[in-house]
Structure 1
Amino acid sequence: MAGTLTPEVIVVGGGPAGLQATLTLARVHRQVVLLDDGQGRNASAGHLHNLITRDGTPPAELRRIAREELAAYPTVEVREVRADRVRDLTADGEPAFVVELEDGSHLRTARVVLATGVRDELPPIPGLAELWGDLVVQCPFCHGHELAGRRVGVLGAGAAAHTARIMRPVASEVLVLADGDELPEDPGAVVRTEEVCRLERLGDEVRVVFAQGEPVVLAGIFVATTSVQATPFAEQLGLALNPSGAVRVDEHGRTSLPGVYAAGDLAHVPALATPVPSIAQAVAAGSMVGGCVVANLVDGG
């Protein structure tokens, strides 16, 4: 698609949700621009899991394959550029938006799909950030099997019991690292209550150093992160948010602002407490949103 054309839809974010939304739109020849700055949430992970036909694929390879597939559709344009601002110019009930890009240019469209994801804020423990996505992970469904039969840790008191119970059939032992906090319930696992001073890489394992007591060596550590919007677009557009801080959407991915849709882990329906951090769920949301946008363009549905 020539860059001078006004796209019917702009998809902001080139992760699984944005790629799938773009493919769905492309399949029925809607003119769509995908904006991708390459900053994926799972970029630090060596492999992705729990996605049928792609279990164990590096995240960058998944994106490469998807981009290659999109190149076959003449109504799609992919731009490797960051969007800085999305402005609402709606008048007389007809949605209209301007997306301002980091290179100083801008695009106009009537429909926007936000698929920019979230950013994980990590506990401020020395050494943790350097091990994130490798020896320190978040999701048992994404990383649990690779730790089978080995000793693993769960860092933090909040989600310790839930994660420990999930990992119990997988790991040889689960050690909860309470980091000085009181556990809200019995995790059914061995607990170290001392403050965690730092984490150190030890070959393919991680060494946990405490303020008191002997260090322990673990095959991997699960940690609950704080997720925040990766971009300011929800705030710029005044979108309604859930208590989790994620964008509020209905079952079709529609936000509180007509013409703006959201897919992936930056958004969820009010019935859920938090977004589901799953590539499969992101793909499903992207497909749903793509179809909903087409329905809206065709008959206002």
Structure 2
Amino acid sequence: MYDAIVIGGGPAGLQAALTLGRMHRSTLLLDSGQYRNGTVQHMHNVIANDGTPPAEFRATARAQLSEYADVEIRDAEAQALGGVAGDFVVSLPGGASASARTVILATGVADELPPVEGLAELWGQGAYACPFCDGHEHAGKPIAILGGAARAEHLISLLGRIVGKITVVPVGESYTDEEVAALEARGVRVSRTLVESVGRAGDDVVVRTADAEHEVAGIFVASGTMRQRAPFAEQLGLGMLESGAIEIDDFGRTSVPGVYAAGDLAHRASLPGPMAAVMMAATAGQLAAVGVIQSLIAADH
């Protein structure tokens, strides 16, 4: 019986395991090997790790965790989760299982990209979602924004002072005349025809529509959604928010006692959505671990 099982080996799960290990709490970290930034070559906006490959970041974290006798890491995907506070059971491949007094969910989310030919192949290496993570690398360069007008305007506000010429291209549904006028008033080029495909053009990217090809340095996607990567929130009946994320309090507590959540899959109700950033995920992992430690101390007394 572990004090805690942490499900997920990204920044949130790794930091949670480190915090628990430093407080000598027996911890099992389960890592499925699936990461939201799995296709990304370099992390950005991460102090002391700006430009570090995510795989290198994870490897360093795991090497440091290996120094803590109370932390065990298994490269295994949790398949099911059940039980109650003080006695949770995680089902593992091959019929194995593991039990813990508490659980921290750090499985993250998966991006659901719009159905554009070639977009999945470019994701993280030519096509992006986060201006904070990838905007600076396109400073002064032409870019394309794919998606709905309202979200495109938000990206223009963030990227306009950084990048060069911006071309906005609709996905799935053409812009209205009013939307075209509003976008053009922001000083950007607007395509009136839908994106048909995207692909490589040497070091650049080409966006193809019915009547044009736009060669740009990179694409920022202003459409698409995200989903919970793992089924545990549904299995446990956790309280959810309109964003599709798990509702938590300041210490990562969910609506089910003994279950905590950290990272992109969860946020407080006071925020409009999860803060998708490595630093924020790690912070959430640390807070969830502190919440776990508080609950274990209370249970032991």
Q: Same fold (TM over 0.5)?
A: yes
Distance 1:193 1:278 in 2: 33
Distance 1:181 1:110 in 2: 52
Query: 1:151 aligned to 2:149?
Result: no
- Check conservation: 1:199, 1:209, Cα contact below 8 A: yes
1:272 alignment partner AA: L
Distance 1:242 1:296 in 2: 24
Aligned-residue sequence identity (percent) comes to: 45
Q: CA deviation at 1:273?
A: 1.7
Which protein has the bigger helix share? 2
Q: Please, which runs of 5 or more residues in structure 2 have no aligned partner?
A: none
Give the corresponding residue for 1:161. 153
Distance 1:244 1:219 in 2: 31
- Aligned ranges for residues 14-33 of structure 1 at < 5 Å? 14-33=9-28
- Aligned ranges for residues 228-243 of structure 1 at < 5 Å? 228-243=227-242
Q: CA deviation at 1:16?
A: 0.2
Q: CA deviation at 1:178?
A: 2.0
- Aligned ranges for residues 96-111 of structure 1 at < 5 Å? 96-111=87-102
Match of 1:214 among 200, 212, 226: 212
Give the corresponding residue for 1:223. 221
After alignment, is 54-63 or 171-180 more displaced?
A: 171-180
Give the corresponding residue for 1:298. 297
Give the corresponding residue for 2:267. 268
Give the corresponding residue for 1:3. none
Q: CA deviation at 1:123?
A: 0.7
- Aligned ranges for residues 126-137 of structure 1 at < 5 Å? 126-137=117-128
When the two structures are aligned, how many residues end up with a matched partner? 291
Q: Deviations over 1:230-273 (max 9, x none)?
A: 00000000101001111111111100000000000000111112
Q: CA deviation at 1:104?
A: 1.5
Query: 1:47 aligned to 2:42?
Result: yes
1:245 alignment partner AA: G
- Aligned ranges for residues 35-74 of structure 1 at < 5 Å? 35-74=30-69
Match of 1:85 among 74, 80, 104: 80
Q: CA deviation at 1:214?
A: 2.0
Q: CA deviation at 1:286?
A: 0.6
Give the corresponding residue for 1:7. 2
Q: CA deviation at 1:172?
A: 1.2
Give the corresponding residue for 1:117. 108
Q: CA deviation at 1:193?
A: 2.2
Q: CA deviation at 1:164?
A: 1.0
Moved over 4 A (4+): none
- Check conservation: 1:156, 1:181, Cα contact below 8 A: no
Query: 1:258 aligned to 2:249?
Result: no
Query: 1:182 aligned to 2:196?
Result: no
Distance 2:287 2:166 in 1: 38
Q: Deviations over 1:61-118 (max 9, x none)?
A: 0000000000000001000000000012x3xxx5321000123200111100000000
Distance 1:129 1:115 in 2: 24
